[in-house]
Structure 1
Amino acid sequence: MKLIVMVMTMMMISEGSMIDQTCKQTPDFKLCVSLLNSDPRGSSADISGLALILIDKIKVLATKTLTEINGLYKKRPELKQALDQCSRRYKTILNADVPEAIEAISKGVPKFGEDGVIDAGVEASVCEEGFQGKSPLTSLTKSMQNISSVTRAVVRMLL
């Protein structure tokens, strides 16, 4: 019984250390660990699996941001032009960048996965710039940029 407990403890340590070791190589260790630990797949994932989890987080955030944009049309009609641009940008993240990244990582061609992840951060930045300093989406935009940056670092480990 004691041996089983020791083996289980060692497995937990090594699983946790995979996330820790990976996240130490990213620009935001705390964000990385938080994102990966919040997904049950993280504890048993290899680096490709961790990258896919992070890409899923980009998808979730893009979906949340699109929902927020749709709600802002009624509350802030004066921002219609900027909101239209942001809507297009976030739809690009969901319909092009995320699928490209998932397919590339799944097929073992991480370079194309990196391109999709980088583009997600760029799309968010361009959205933000469209408000000329008065964006109601700043916190979501910054989150997308941060998640994209962390995800890119993990995808680069596969190159």
Structure 2
Amino acid sequence: MTKCMKNLIILLISSLILTWNPIHSSSSSAHANAILSSQSQSQSQNNNHNAGLIESTCKSSDSYSLCVSTLEADGRSANASDARQLAQILVDAVRAKAEQALYSLRQQPSVQQCSAAYRSILDEDVPKAQQGLQTGNPQLAGEGMADAAAAAAACQHSLVSASGNKQSVLSVVSQVVRAVAQIARSIITSVL
């Protein structure tokens, strides 16, 4: 699989994960359409207002496409004035994806080995990154995201080892959490 194809798959998976909320998965299609319409409007605003900042910030990341799509999916990036605010949005995306993964894990007791990893991301790694961003300590923020990426990778490895399935939903979610955490870390350490 080419790198371009892999990035496209990650981009599509990320978009699906950003719009999927397991707590409200039984919502009507009208509600889903409203969310997608809102995200389209938000993406249009981002493209017009802050595309330059997003593009220049994402150039320092390992996965440009996923970085751009994650930032454009969050309406706050339209009002971001610097890379620090964009990094905060990425840290928040890691938190949201980790919450989704933890929710999914609660629904499937057979994969509880990952619960501790995602609790660590939510209780330790994301707060550490947020504190580092708030206090102007990029090293602390970068460590938080490096730890989150490592925890997601460990979960993904245990899922694949247990089931042999690299494409299970939880395995893919873990891949996305890891990738977004790595993007946040690379931006934090290179731009801030």
Identity %: 29
What displacement does 1:129 show? 2.2
What displacement does 1:117 show? 0.1
1:44-91, CA deviations, whole angstroms, 9 ceiling, x for partnerless residues? 321110000000000000000001111111xxxxx3xxx332101100
Tell me the equivalent position of 1:62: 98
Secondary structure in 2 aligned to 1:157? Answer: helix
Tell me the equivalent position of 2:53: 18
Does the alignment pair 1:147 with 2:180? yes
More divergent stretch after superposition (12-21 vs 97-106) = 12-21
In 2, are the aligned partners of 1:26 and 1:32 still within 8 Å (CA)? yes
In 2, are the aligned partners of 1:63 and 1:94 still within 8 Å (CA)? yes
Tell me the equivalent position of 1:44: 79
In 2, the alpha carbon distance for the partners of 1:15 and 1:140 equals 28
In 1, are the aligned partners of 2:156 and 2:175 still within 8 Å (CA)? no
More divergent stretch after superposition (50-59 vs 143-152) = 143-152
| Structure 1 alignment gaps of length 5 or more | 1-11, 74-78
TM-score by length of 1: 0.82
1:12-49, CA deviations, whole angstroms, 9 ceiling, x for partnerless residues? 76721000111111111111111111112212321110
Count of aligned pairs: 140
In 1, are the aligned partners of 2:90 and 2:184 still within 8 Å (CA)? yes
| Structure 2 alignment gaps of length 5 or more | 1-46
Secondary structure in 2 aligned to 1:25? Answer: coil
Matching residue within 117, 132, 136 for 1:89: 117
Does the alignment pair 1:157 with 2:185? no
Moved over 3 A (4+): none
Q: Which has the higher contact order (CA 8 A, sep 6+)?
A: 1
Task: Note the aligned Cα RMSD (angstroms).
Answer: 1.7
In 1, the alpha carbon distance for the partners of 2:48 and 2:176 equals 29
Secondary structure in 2 aligned to 1:149? Answer: helix
In 2, the alpha carbon distance for the partners of 1:14 and 1:91 equals 36
In 2, are the aligned partners of 1:110 and 1:158 still within 8 Å (CA)? no
Secondary structure in 2 aligned to 1:27? Answer: coil
- Residue type matched to 2:61 in 1? T
- Residue type matched to 1:60 in 2? A
Who wins on radius of gyration, i.e. which is larger? 1
